[in-house]
């Protein structure tokens, strides 16, 4: 429904009750009638949120139409579909002004739809494709999506370790599959934050003030995954790294253990909303970056000049992943502290 902005007068009802009438258009859209219940939520900034108590009320379906021609590149079309998805549209209608879509455009739509959780092609003819997004936002919350992203990253690290130990192509390919799944969850999380900011439902009231921090957090986690996948692409099938596996295996395993530990502490602090634990996760990731610098120096000393550039390239990617992880920990600290409102307890027990 369209946004409403009105100024209404507070009326006196009886001796001690003040009242404000509900907008007629809003009442009609929500399907309310006399005697129905509404939920009232008061936020910390004083904003009063009123939503129907009935869980059967849903937001109006959002439809977007994308007009293309035969000259529209499939890359541009894919980007438009992606943006339409993350900004919360439920139905995406792709329509060509020419008699038919090109073969590349059709394949581009299909590959993009496969990358979007809950999206399916429900209608198709020569000049039109309709994509429906079957996502019930009420089934998700941003914290669960963050948890899913962290678990995928931990799995990626496990496959990277196994890949360097056994040097099997299949292990590196599985890591890339996990990165594809991480991107899907990331995209859904971004969509969730957009829909959440527009719906402002009572169940999600706690998350609303922290949407900016959550968006920064999920972006940092996605960057960690992208960096890990770039390591797999760099190493996969390269005989130079296979020869250096003995040198790289132990330091990579050490840094991986530290990354996994930091991820566990980050998730625990986010779930418990424990400020001291969140601060610990920031300290751990800072130590991780420092520890990696020492580890990098010891590894570089053991390789020859011929292998140095490739090893250096891989180590730089690991360093970048550690930096993104540190940013993620800082975002979680911000979220945990902000969730405490006007009272932040830093006492040690």
Pairwise pLDDT comparison (204 vs 89), residue with the higher score: 89
- Tell me if residue 61 falls in helix, strand or coil: coil
Class level of CATH domain 11-52 = mainly beta
> Which pLDDT band, with edges at 50, 70 and 90, does 202 fall under?
very low
63-133 architecture in CATH?
2-Layer Sandwich (3.30)
Contact 220, 285 (CB under 8 A): no
Whether 143 shows a pLDDT value over 70: the answer reads yes
Q: Where does the chain hold its CATH 2.10.260 domain(s)? A: 11-52
d(CA 5, CA 246): 66
Q: How far is CA 342 from CA 49, 111, 131, 333, 339, in A?
A: 20, 47, 45, 16, 9
Whether 1 shows a pLDDT value over 60: the answer reads no
Backbone φ and ψ for 81, nearest 5 degrees, come out as -65, -45
- The mean-pLDDT minimum among 193-197, 235-239, 338-342 falls in 235-239
Q: Where does the chain hold its CATH 3.30.110 domain(s)? A: 63-133
Whether 299 shows a pLDDT value over 80: the answer reads no
Q: Has domain 138-338 been given CATH number 1.10.486.10?
A: no
**pLDDT tens for each residue of 27-80:** 887 788 888 888 777 665 567 778 776 644 456 788 999 999 999 999 999 999
> Which pLDDT band, with edges at 50, 70 and 90, does 304 fall under?
low
Pairwise pLDDT comparison (307 vs 151), residue with the higher score: 151
For residue 206, give the DSSP letter.
T
Q: Where does the chain hold its CATH 1.20.58.220 domain(s)? A: 138-338
Contacts of residue 273, defined as CB under 8 A and 6 or more positions apart, other chains included, come to 336, 339, 340
d(CA 164, CA 313): 15
Contacts of residue 337, defined as CB under 8 A and 6 or more positions apart, other chains included, come to 275, 278, 344
Pairwise pLDDT comparison (348 vs 184), residue with the higher score: 184
**pLDDT tens for each residue of 227-269:** 999 988 888 767 767 777 677 777 778 888 889 999 999 999 9
- The mean-pLDDT minimum among 124-133, 143-152, 291-300, 329-338 falls in 291-300
> Which pLDDT band, with edges at 50, 70 and 90, does 167 fall under?
confident
- For the chain, the average pLDDT equals 86
d(CA 96, CA 32): 41
The pLDDT of residue 54: 61
Intra-chain end-to-end CA distance of the chain, in Å: 50
Whether 203 shows a pLDDT value over 50: the answer reads no
d(CA 174, CA 155): 10
């Amino acid at each position: 429904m369209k946004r409403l902005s009105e100024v209404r007068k507070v009326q006196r009802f009886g001796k001690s009750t003040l009242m404000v009438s509900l907008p007629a258009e809003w009442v009609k859209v929500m399907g309310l009638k006399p005697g129905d219940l509404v939920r009232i939520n008061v936020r910390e900034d004083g904003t009063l949120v009123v939503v129907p108590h009935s869980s059967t009320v849903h937001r109006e379906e959002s439809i977007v139409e994308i007009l293309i021609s035969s000259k529209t590149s499939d890359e541009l079309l894919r980007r438009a579909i992606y943006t339409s998805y993350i900004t919360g549209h439920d139905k995406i209608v792709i329509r060509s002004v020419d008699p038919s879509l090109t073969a590349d455009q059709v394949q581009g739509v299909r590959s993009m739809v496969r990358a979007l959780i809950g999206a399916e092609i429900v209608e198709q003819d020569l000049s039109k494709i309709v994509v429906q997004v079957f996502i019930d936002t009420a089934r998700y919350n941003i914290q669960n999506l963050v948890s899913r992203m962290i678990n995928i990253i931990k799995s990626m690290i496990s496959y990277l370790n196994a890949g360097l130990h056994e040097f099997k192509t299949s292990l590196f390919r599985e890591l890339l599959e996990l990165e594809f799944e991480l991107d899907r969850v990331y995209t859904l999380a971004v969509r969730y934050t957009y829909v959440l900011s527009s719906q402002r439902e009572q169940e999600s009231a706690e998350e609303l003030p922290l949407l900016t921090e959550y968006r920064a957090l999920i972006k940092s986690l996605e960057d960690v995954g992208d960096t890990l996948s770039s390591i797999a692409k760099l190493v996969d099938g390269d005989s130079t790294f296979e020869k250096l596996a003995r040198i790289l295996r132990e330091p990579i395993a050490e840094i991986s253990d530290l990354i996994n530990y930091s991820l566990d502490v980050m998730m625990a602090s986010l779930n418990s909303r424990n400020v001291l634990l969140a601060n610990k996760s920031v300290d751990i990731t800072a130590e991780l970056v420092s520890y990696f610098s020492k580890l990098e120096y010891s590894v570089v000393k053991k390789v020859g000049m011929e292998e140095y550039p490739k090893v250096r390239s891989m180590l730089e990617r690991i360093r970048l992943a550690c930096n993104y992880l540190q940013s993620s920990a800082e975002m979680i600290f911000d979220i945990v502290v902000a969730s405490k409102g006007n009272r932040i307890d830093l006492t040690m027990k």
